[in-house]
Amino acid sequence: MSPKIRTYFDLPESDSTLPDQIAAQDRRVAARLEDVGAVVAIMSGKGGVGKSLVTASLAASLARSGKRVGLIDADLNGPSATGLLGIPPRSLVESGEGIEPAVTPGGVRVMSMALLLEPDTGLAWRDSADAGFVWRGAQERGALREFISDVCWGELDVLLVDLPPGSQRVAELHGLVPNLAGSLAVTIPSGASRDAVARSLDLARARDLPVRGLVENLAGARCDACDRVSPLYDGEAGRELADQFDVPLLAQIPFDRTLARAGDAGALEPWLESGGSVQDQIRALAETVSGWTPAGPEEA
């Protein structure tokens, strides 16, 4: 009979183990975020609620108020931040320190998969084997990690992360950035949106993710001529979710044709310069978010 074989845990660890390499990845993320005041996630349980438009407007407004702002477009399969902020395809400068982000005229530092792909080309992964779906989630998590750790973000007051629809990515982001300053959930007034966002908020709460506020987008339609807002949906998802989860409803942004046009034209920054009730709401939202810190909200 052969002698008893030692077990995995009987043998000493070496610095080449996979857990060690993953820990080293986490350390690179932490090191890159040392000069970042607050990381804020923008999430939604549902697609098509205007989350990216809210995020890009928020980033532009924060920059306009003098904050140093970064924006990670974590919607790898449907990136839109560069289009909304008017950033054309360009080569990203690579140095020994990492990859320089694109910068808008207003100073928002942006990283997006759209900068790495040909226009109108979808994200495709190189699969050397069938069943790529098995590890697709790991690859996308890895891309999000590299968007944080490998980009020369520099000193930032706020780094916004525009997450794709669904709840999985916010949990992954929280795994990468345990001291997330907060997350902002975006909904539209409809009952379907309320149900989808409620599921995300429930999951977020179960995982101790700090949901700090709600935004209800498309909360009516604003008339260009008289500034009056008329309803678009029957529901009141924003208020209902705020009550259900005891989270403040920070803004109710109506459909505004000038905002929609500015987003389509990549001209959100100039749009913010013009006055208006919607711009005022976004400015107020930016002021609130700029007070979020990992330790807790600053007293307003």
Partner 1 sequence: MKFLCVECDRQMTFEEREVPGDGTLAAVFRCPKCERSMAMLTNPMETQLVSSLGVKVGGETVPGTSFEGIRTGVSSGRDEAFVEAATPIQGPVRWTVDAVERLSHVPSFVRGMVKKIYNEYAKEHGIGEITPAIMDRARSDLGLEDM
Residues that bind partner 1 (CB under 8 A): 2-3, 5-6, 8, 11-12, 14-18, 20-22, 25, 89, 91-96, 98-100, 115-118, 121-132, 134-136, 138-139, 142-143, 145-146, 150
The minimum distance between CB 225 and partner 1, in angstroms, equals 43
Q: How many CB atoms lie within 10 A of CB 7?
A: 7
The minimum distance between CB 216 and partner 1, in angstroms, equals 34
The minimum distance between CB 155 and partner 1, in angstroms, equals 19
Spatial distance between the Cα atoms of 268 and 53, rounded to a whole number of angstroms: 9
The minimum distance between CB 240 and partner 1, in angstroms, equals 39
At 98, the amino acid letter reads: G
Instruction: Considering the complex, state which of residue 72 and residue 241 has its C-beta at the smaller distance from partner 1.
Output: 72
Give CA angle at 293 (287, 296), nearest 5°. Answer: 105
Write the CA distances from 94 to 76, 82, 180, 249, integer angstroms.
Answer: 20, 19, 27, 41
Instruction: Considering the complex, state which of residue 122 and residue 275 has its C-beta at the smaller distance from partner 1.
Output: 122
Return the residue matching tokens 């529901």: 235
Structure tokens at 57: 């407007």
Instruction: Considering the complex, state which of residue 66 and residue 137 has its C-beta at the smaller distance from partner 1.
Output: 137
Spatial distance between the Cα atoms of 102 and 90, rounded to a whole number of angstroms: 8
The minimum distance between CB 31 and partner 1, in angstroms, equals 13
Structure tokens at 173: 């982001």
Burial class (CB in 10 A: 0-12, 13-18, 19+), 146: middle
Closest residue by Cα to residue 75 from 198, 166, 200, 176:
166
The minimum distance between CB 104 and partner 1, in angstroms, equals 18
Check if the beta carbon of residue 289 is closer than 8 Å to that of residue 248: no
Instruction: Considering the complex, state which of residue 126 and residue 225 has its C-beta at the smaller distance from partner 1.
Output: 126
Spatial distance between the Cα atoms of 70 and 92, rounded to a whole number of angstroms: 15
The minimum distance between CB 261 and partner 1, in angstroms, equals 28
Instruction: Considering the complex, state which of residue 142 and residue 248 has its C-beta at the smaller distance from partner 1.
Output: 142
Check if the beta carbon of residue 73 is closer than 8 Å to that of residue 36: no
Instruction: Considering the complex, state which of residue 8 and residue 300 has its C-beta at the smaller distance from partner 1.
Output: 8
Instruction: Considering the complex, state which of residue 93 and residue 192 has its C-beta at the smaller distance from partner 1.
Output: 93
